[in-house]
Amino acid sequence: MKITVTNKKGVDVNPHMIGLFFEDINYGADGGLYAELLENRSFDFFPTMEFDDISPLTAWDKVGNCVFESCREHPMNNINPQYAYIKGEAGEGIVNRAYEGIFCEKGKKYDFSLYVKGNAKLKVEIKTENALCCEASIEAEGEEWKKYSLEMESNETVYNGKLYITFLEEGECDIDMASLFPRDTFMGRKNGLRADMAQALKDIKPGFVRFPGGCIVEGTVIENRYRWKDTVGPVEERKINWNRWQDGNVGITAHDYFQSYGLGFYEYFLLCEDIGAQPLPVLNCGMACQYKTGECVPMDELDEYIQDAIDLIEFANGDPDKNEWAALRARMGHPEPFNLVYLGIGNEQWEENYFERYEAFQKVIAPLYPDIKLITSSGPSAQGKEFDKAYKWLEGKKEDFAYAVDEHYYVKSEWMFDNANRYDSYNRDGVKVFAGEYACHIGDKQPKPNSLEAAIAEAAMMTGFERNADVVTLASYAPLFARVNYTQWHPDMIFVNNHEIMLTPSYHVQAMFGNNLPDYTLQFEREEDGDVYISAGYKEGEYILKVANRGGKKDVVLSLPEGVMEIEEITLTSEFMTDINTMDNKDKVSPRSLTRPVGGSREINLTVPPLSFNVYKLK
Ligand code: AHR
């Protein structure tokens, strides 16, 4: 097959085009990216509309005959009013299960803190039945709530440690906000993120991070929607919420799934800054998840929601001397603005109830903040009645109405291969596209695998994004993280347990695009071959060609407008379309890179392996 890349410029590519979609699903935040090791640290879980039997003491057990009760009489604050009372003999106390146990590493430091009210001598340990990792003590005094902090260093490496708080001598006290962090968080930040997980995100070179979801933005009902204001300020004053994914998906429920909001909007903005990505927050638009209750806030009560959007823009970009939300950002440690540009109004919303609510937001925000790029939604799938209605509504609309419309597709590989040219025929003159959630779903059986086939289908689709970068301005695979044994949705991009991460073939495709994004595309000619999906572009002295091949080996003659000295070939392939990575075989499907000289040639012979996605960089 012959591919002839010309020097005719196609379209500019948004340097932020390839981004991330973060949602607290599959324990992506607490128990995931947020490095806090304890579960239900503030004794504040509560019964929800999904499960009426949830205890405030969830995840904690008694040691010995300790009295262990939930109280509300003298809270640390009224935002999270529950705390625990303990009373016991020496050696008695409580233990936190910490999801499936704490990964505690020899020689590493851990920061523990606890609020205590009362006089008590307490021992704090991380240990298993066979190994004591760390031990320290607290001598609490006084009738006011007081924070005690301990630095601990581990003498052992264990994978299933538990955190014990026991009495050194007979005593009683009130306790709240027990917290344990590894010292080595990502970038060493306090209240920080798990280093390996955040690094994996950085390695994609993402252009943006969309947060905090997903359906949790909407909530099952309006009552448990995501309210960003609950997620900023001191961590002990962030009002915990139950997670909309308690009800799970495809029958997998998550009884004890809450949002501590320790990873809140400030931390999301910081993460973006730390990994060089643009923040793309999505706000509730006055509607609960339309897959659940679809509850709508009356139009005449929408002001609070619109004000939340205005306050968020100020929190991110405002002057601390002029705005209270900007002042809070400064107090939290970031007087400089976060340079928010993109803002999503509503998640996966559809039809008239949404259209009128979006318009109400747009009418207020666009004139006040003309530089903010608003993002609207076309509903839950990229075709069909709701989708068509959204595009009808957007007919004739321009960037001042909505910068981009969020399209979602969780689809079979055939759909992706068939739709790789979908954007070739889109209107170039209207609202752009944000492919805000997409993933290839193989088969109908759960768990759906992150196979090589899925990755190649996604790569084929993404060559279409890139070729049409004047239409598709932003794109993010979804969902991002899944904690093994705590997963409600398959497939996902990155799997984790308490000590390691597993990158899927889909992850590698994202990284290959994110790391090799051209400044602009180049027009090319090609011989027809239904197995092969291509995009071509140019950046800083390099031609960049991407080739997804769903078929057998292809011998390609690549012709370029000028001679090149060197080619780097990055290839993702494996023997079978069904191949996947697992925790035991993490690199089965992972990219290999090879660089070879080509001596100033304009014509290069390429051997495109069967079932592969390839990036060719020609200098
Ligand atoms: O990515 C998982 C879910 O899929 C998102 O929360 C929602 O927007 C979509 O339905």
Q: Is any atom of ligand 1 closer than 6 Å to the C-beta of 318?
A: no
State the closest ligand 1 atom to the C-alpha of 21, by its place in the atom list counted from 1: 1
d(CA 151, CA 148): 10
State the closest ligand 1 atom to the C-alpha of 347, by its place in the atom list counted from 1: 8
d(CA 291, CA 316): 31
Share of the chain above pLDDT 70, in %: 100
pLDDT at 121 over 90: yes
Q: Where in the chain is the domain with CATH 2.60.40.1180?
A: 2-13+520-618
| CATH of the structural domain 18-35+186-514, one choice from 3.40.50.11540, 3.40.50.200, 3.40.50.880, 3.20.20.80 | 3.20.20.80
Nearest CA to ligand 1 atom 2: 479
Nearest CA to ligand 1 atom 6: 214
pLDDT at 52 over 90: yes
d(CA 329, CA 396): 38
Strand partners, 438: 409, 477
Q: Is any atom of ligand 1 closer than 6 Å to the C-beta of 379?
A: no
The Å distance, Cα 302 to ligand 1 centre, comes to 24
Q: Which candidate in 92, 348, 386, 453 is catalytic?
A: 348
d(CA 599, CA 486): 52
- Listing DSSP states for 128-175 in one string gives -SS-EEEEEEEEE-SSS-EEEEEEEE-SS-EEEEEEEEEESSSEEEEE
Do residues 548 and 460 touch, judged by C-beta distance below 8 A?
yes
pLDDT in tens, 468-521: 999 999 999 999 999 999 999 999 999 999 999 999 999 999 999 999 999 999
- Using a 10 angstrom Cβ sphere, with 0-12 exposed, 13-18 middle and 19 or more buried, the burial of residue 418 is middle
Q: Is any atom of ligand 1 closer than 6 Å to the C-beta of 28?
A: no
- Output helix, strand, coil percentages for the chain, rounded to the nearest 5: 20, 35, 45
d(CA 298, CA 99): 40
State the pLDDT at residue 248. Answer: 82
State the pLDDT at residue 610. Answer: 98
Which amino acid type is present at position 147? K
Do residues 157 and 101 touch, judged by C-beta distance below 8 A?
no
> What average pLDDT score do residues 388-404 get?
97
Contacts of 120 (CB under 8 A, 6+ apart): 138, 140, 167, 171, 172, 173
| CATH of the structural domain 60-182, one choice from 3.10.20.30, 2.20.25.160, 2.60.120.260, 1.10.340.30 | 2.60.120.260
The three-class DSSP label of residue 104 is: strand
> What average pLDDT score do residues 31-53 get?
97
Do residues 161 and 126 touch, judged by C-beta distance below 8 A?
yes
**Residue 461 per-residue DSSP state:** H
The Å distance, Cα 255 to ligand 1 centre, comes to 19
- Using a 10 angstrom Cβ sphere, with 0-12 exposed, 13-18 middle and 19 or more buried, the burial of residue 611 is buried
Do residues 134 and 154 touch, judged by C-beta distance below 8 A?
yes
Residues in the chain: 619
Nearest CA to ligand 1 atom 4: 214
Q: Is any atom of ligand 1 closer than 6 Å to the C-beta of 24?
A: no
Q: Is any atom of ligand 1 closer than 6 Å to the C-beta of 503?
A: no
Q: Is the peptide bond before 447 cis (omega within 30 degrees of 0)?
A: yes
pLDDT in tens, 190-218: 999 999 999 999 999 999 999 999 999 99
Architecture of the domain spanning 2-13+520-618: Sandwich (2.60)
**For a pocket test of ligand 1, which of 347, 381, 488 has the largest count of ligand atoms closer than 8 A to its C-beta?**
347
State the closest ligand 1 atom to the C-alpha of 437, by its place in the atom list counted from 1: 1
Q: Where in the chain is the domain with CATH 3.20.20.80?
A: 18-35+186-514
State the pLDDT at residue 423. Answer: 98
Strand order of the β-sheet with 494-496 is 481-483, 494-496, 501-503
Strand partners, 113: 149, 179
Q: Where in the chain is the domain with CATH 2.60.120.260?
A: 60-182
d(CA 26, CA 32): 8
State the closest ligand 1 atom to the C-alpha of 479, by its place in the atom list counted from 1: 1
State the closest ligand 1 atom to the C-alpha of 380, by its place in the atom list counted from 1: 10
State the pLDDT at residue 249. Answer: 78
Nearest CA to ligand 1 atom 5: 214
Active site residue 348: yes
Considering only CA atoms, which of 376, 382, 380, 381 is closest in space to residue 358?
Answer: 376
Q: What is the dihedral of CA 226, 230, 231, 235, to 10 degrees?
A: -140
φ, ψ dihedrals at 128, nearest 5°: -115, -175
Of 117-126, 246-255, 583-592, 610-619, the poorest mean pLDDT is in: 246-255
The Å distance, Cα 356 to ligand 1 centre, comes to 22
187's tokens:
């970038």
- Listing DSSP states for 383-427 in one string gives SSHHHHHHHHHHTT--TTT-SEEEEEEEE-HHHHHHHTTGGGGS-
d(CA 545, CA 560): 11
pLDDT in tens, 577-590: 999 999 999 999 99
pLDDT in tens, 252-301: 789 999 999 999 999 999 999 999 999 999 999 999 999 999 999 999 99
pLDDT at 548 over 90: yes
Q: Is any atom of ligand 1 closer than 6 Å to the C-beta of 23?
A: yes
The Å distance, Cα 503 to ligand 1 centre, comes to 20
The Å distance, Cα 223 to ligand 1 centre, comes to 19
Look at the pTM and tell me if it is higher than 0.75.
Answer: yes
